[in-house]
């Protein structure tokens, strides 16, 4: 169990390092595409600023596998793992293993570096060379050859098989896949389950499969939009579903949702966890299923409503987002109990006081 938790910790560390790169690169691509840019084919010829932005974003996306491999290896083995991890990511890119190869290479080289640090004995005069030369060289040599000749082939097969499966899905299968991915992305409002769905979608983006990214973006916006719709319905029908404090939180969560920041819903979910989580997950699942079934794809991994124009079907995305948000909003409006405002402005239940006066210590 402890080992499993450690693996999860290393993966989440890598995701936290990777996300800024993915977001920055994706927005550069979006800005460049919206202003008429294309990928530069020959840098010796003249090119425009929009094309420079698109090309820079594409370069950044190409670093995803090296960064995630290097970050995993760093999380496991500290600084001696960075260089070998980056090299494993470059190998994954070169052989077509993508982010799956980068992750696997990062874990293997990270643990191998840890083993060398703990077990490799060198003369006293060479101990200073261990972290900067001996350990990185040996680990890069051994694991690099494994990646090239042994491990890389099945990973490439798996990556190509997954890509072919996703691109070949039709009808109800696409809806089910989008629903599962959308539900995962909304389930814990930016937590570990969301990060897994996000990593999966970002990895497929490198394989030029754009639909999961649109599902991820949609599912991240459904919770704040859905909660806002439920509040508006409560206002329209004169129902007291939210306390004053929760209403203030909703007014903050909505603009955060426009920017694809789901965490603004957490204070609202904390008060009524089961109803809010269930409603948000179901709404995101339905919206994600529709988006996937309609073939909506996003070449940009983040940015909320601001990058919708860069999608291949912005209108269909907006309709799917609206439907998913309405499902969440209507469910919450019908399911959520009337809020009871206490003196301090919260809806906390009044706890029964316990009389301890009868307790005697003899």
Task: Quote the pLDDT of residue 229.
Answer: 96
SS3 content of the chain, % helix, strand, coil (to 5): 75, 0, 25
Closest to 294 in 3D by CA, of 133, 119, 175: 175
User: What's the Cα-to-Cα distance from 45 to each of 48, 60, 187, rounded to whole Å?
Assistant: 10, 22, 48
Could you tell me the pTM of the whole model?
A: 0.71
Complete DSSP assignment for 286-323: HHHHHHHHTT---SSS--GGGGGGGSS-HHHHHHHHHH
Task: Quote the pLDDT of residue 351.
Answer: 39
Gap between the Cα atoms of 108 and 93, Å rounded: 16
Gap between the Cα atoms of 187 and 182, Å rounded: 8
Task: Quote the pLDDT of residue 167.
Answer: 67
Task: Quote the pLDDT of residue 3.
Answer: 59
Ranges under pLDDT 70 in the chain: 1-5, 162, 167, 340-362
In sequence order, the 6+-apart residues with CB closer than 8 A to the CB of 339 are 240, 241, 242, 243, 246, 347
- With 0-12 / 13-18 / 19 or more C-beta atoms within 10 angstroms meaning exposed / middle / buried, residue 351 is exposed
Task: Quote the pLDDT of residue 349.
Answer: 40
Cβ atoms < 10 Å from Cβ of 359:
6
Q: Are 295 and 211 in contact (CB under 8 A)?
A: yes
Give the residue extent of every domain in the chain: 2-162, 171-335
Q: Are 227 and 276 in contact (CB under 8 A)?
A: yes
Q: Are 201 and 19 in contact (CB under 8 A)?
A: no
Q: Identify the residue whose tokens are 């316990």.
A: 354
Q: Are 73 and 46 in contact (CB under 8 A)?
A: no
Task: Quote the pLDDT of residue 353.
Answer: 45
Q: Are 144 and 94 in contact (CB under 8 A)?
A: no
Task: Quote the pLDDT of residue 7.
Answer: 81
Angle at which helix 192-206 crosses helix 171-187, to 10 degrees, equals: 130
């Amino acid at each position: 169990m402890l080992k499993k938790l450690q693996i999860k910790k290393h993966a989440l560390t890598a995701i936290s390092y990777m996300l800024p790169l993915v977001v920055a690169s994706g927005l550069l691509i979006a800005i460049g595409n919206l202003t008429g840019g294309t990928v530069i084919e020959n840098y010796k010829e003249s090119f425009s600023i929009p094309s420079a932005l698109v090309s820079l974003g594409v370069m950044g996306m190409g670093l995803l596998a090296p960064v995630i491999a290097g970050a995993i290896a760093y999380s496991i083995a500290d600084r001696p793992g960075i260089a070998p991890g980056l090299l494993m990511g470059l190998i994954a890119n070169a052989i077509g293993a993508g982010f799956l190869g980068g992750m696997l290479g990062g874990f293997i080289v990270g643990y191998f570096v840890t083993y060398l640090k703990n077990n490799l004995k060198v003369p006293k005069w060479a101990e200073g060379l261990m972290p900067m030369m001996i350990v990185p060289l040996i680990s890069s040599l051994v694991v690099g050859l494994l990646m090239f000749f042994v491990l890389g082939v099945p990973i490439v097969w798996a990556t190509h098989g997954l890509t072919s499966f996703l691109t070949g899905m039709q009808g109800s299968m696409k809806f089910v896949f989008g629903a599962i991915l959308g539900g995962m992305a909304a389930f814990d409002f930016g937590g570990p389950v969301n990060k897994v769905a996000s990593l999966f979608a970002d990895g497929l983006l490198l394989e030029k499969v754009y639909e999961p990214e649109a599902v991820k973006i949609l599912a991240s916006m459904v919770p704040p939009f859905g909660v806002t719709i439920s509040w508006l319905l409560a206002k329209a029908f004169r129902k007291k579903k939210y306390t004053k404090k929760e209403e203030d939180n909703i007014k903050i969560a909505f603009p955060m949702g426009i920017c694809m920041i789901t965490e603004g819903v957490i204070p609202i979910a904390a008060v009524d966890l089961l109803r809010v989580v269930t409603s948000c997950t179901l709404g995101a699942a339905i919206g994600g299923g529709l988006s996937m079934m309609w073939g909506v794809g996003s070449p940009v991994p983040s940015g909320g409503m601001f990058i919708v124009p860069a999608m291949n079907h912005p209108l269909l995305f907006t309709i799917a987002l609206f439907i998913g948000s309405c499902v969440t909003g209507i469910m919450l409006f019908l399911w959520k109990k009337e809020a009871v405002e206490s003196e301090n402005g919260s809806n906390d239940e009044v706890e029964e006081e316990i009389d301890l006066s009868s307790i005697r210590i003899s």
